[in-house]
Amino acid sequence: MSSFEKGPPGHMVTTSRLVFAVEIVDEEDRAIAQLGAFDTEEAAQECLSLLEAEGRHGMLAINLIDVHSTVTDWAADR
């Protein structure tokens, strides 16, 4: 969907943006806690590397999150 395609009548849908969240996950890859979120994958990887250097290993992951401005935008983008 482009930046200003029409969603529901009278609503202009804006483009969502992606963020990269560094999370603690459980054995089934479900997020338990979010440790930080970043605009770039490189920044998220740098955070992950820093946490691993501090001794956190194994249960860390980078999760890509689609951020919408409104619920209407989210619904139109599903």
Q: How many CB atoms lie within 10 A of CB 48?
A: 19
Residue pair 48/22 in contact by the 8 Å Cβ criterion: yes
Q: Looking at the DSSP assignment, which residues form a beta bridge with residue 14?
A: none
d(CA 50, CA 46): 6
d(CA 55, CA 70): 38
pTM: 0.73
- Domain ranges within the chain, ordered by starting residue: 17-77
Q: In a structure prediction context, what are the per-residue pLDDT tens digits for the chain, which is 78 residues long?
A: 444 445 556 656 567 789 999 999 999 989 999 999 999 999 999 999 999 999 987 799 999 999 988 888 888 877
Structural tokens at position 7: 């969603």
